[in-house]
A and B are shown apart, each in its own frame.
Chain A
Amino acid sequence: MSAGVCRVAWVPGTDTLHGTCHCSAEFLAEDPVDLWTWMYEHRHDDPSPPLDSPDDPAALLTTGAHR
């Protein structure tokens, strides 16, 4: 991930969007408005580890596992 570049991709086979900030924080959402809101409002110094490969994005969402 280049400095300053944010990326949003569709998780294959799901309706889930996977966002990655230039600070390496990650987030899953099923609504692009929610995703961009998180992208521009989250703290860039969040020390939480990145998400694992989202085999079950729905489970990650319901457990609040978003960065």
Chain B
Amino acid sequence: MAVPPRFPRDQWYVAALSDEVGPTLLARTVLNEPLVLHRTAEGTVSVLADRCVHRRYPLSKGTLTERGIVCGYHGFTYDDSGLCTAVPGQSRVPRTARVSTYPVVEQDTMVWVFIGDPDLADPAAIPRVEWLSDPAWTSVRSMAPLAARAGLLLDNLMDLSHETFLHAAYIGSPEVAETPIVTTVDDTTGVVRVERRMSDAECPPAYQALSGLDRISRWQDIEYHPPGLYLLHIRIAPPHTLPAADGSDPGGFRTEVLYAITPETDRSTHDFWIVGRSFELENPELDRRSIAAQSAVVQQDVDALNLLEEILVADGSDYQELSVNLDTGGLAARRQIERLSARQSVPR
């Protein structure tokens, strides 16, 4: 295993955050397939192939009208089912004039699209993230374009020891890299969990204002649903304290970090992120600080992974990686990607 594996087809991926999709045309490529998204008059999300059947002009460069998407090159018009309903200059519309549609599910404030054989699309396979629709929680969110393959982002997120070195100014502390992890893999669901429990750790800058503490008990529990959904459950509390037996945790606070890892091309990725909290729900200043801190952390990852992608391309795949104990979770995640890839269908 020399490089991170390619992500598989026949899977659901987050194509957009719900609030990105409105009554305008949104172009987005997922797993090398160009898509055009928009919200219909009924409020649902339409996803079509972003290529006019006539001369392959991107439909996303056209206009959205009551009749559908009008291609900006020669005016071919498509309804939400992908059917071409009008061709300029003639009354007959060729029977084959249709663009592909994609299975789409809007759930938990994200728009999921199935890339691959649509007959294999099972909406029940999309993992739920309940806190995203829980009124007791609030969140901030964005997407960072990454000029690096999705496997590099997965490696990055599954081994948080990099926080100590790459993110020291925000969320890093010495204990993250020093604390042993416990990794579990559910072979039935493919879910990989990596648990890192620090009972007495330096409080990193990003949490000092929230907690008012110099030392903290810090939990980082990763829950990865392959291929594209990564959840990080965080608990911050006074040192050496645990939640009560009944689950209450008056001394601690919880935050959630979600990443949707969506390959754009073989060497670029949509790095969606959402940061949630269940306290101070109506605090715009805290929202602003959370966005600023998370954006800065993500940008540090983007800069590092973009550099790694350049190096992978320049060096080729003929080298041997060295993996250490901290890579146990990342290697398990790669294994799940390979498992899914082995059973994918042939591309259309």
Binding site for B on A (CB under 8 A): 2-10, 12, 15, 17, 22, 31-33, 35-36, 40
Contact = CB atoms under 8 A, between A and B. Distances in A.
A18 B69 CA distance: 57
A22 B183 contact: no
Contacts of A31: 323
Interface in B292-342: 323-325, 327-328, 331-332, 335
Interface stretch (B40-48, B184-192, B219-227): B184-192
The dominant DSSP class at the B interface is mixed
Interface of B: 1, 180-189, 323-325, 327-328, 331-332, 335
A4 B185 CA distance: 8
Contacts of B189: 4
A10 B181 contact: yes
Nearest to B330: A32
Given A17-B328, A32-B323, A36-B332, A4 B186 contact: yes
A12 B181 CA distance: 11
15 contacts: A2-B186, A4-B188, A4-B189, A5-B187, A6-B185, A7-B182, A7-B184, A8-B184, A8-B328, A9-B183, A17-B328, A32-B325, A33-B1, A35-B328, A36-B331
Contact of A4 (B187, B325, B331): B187
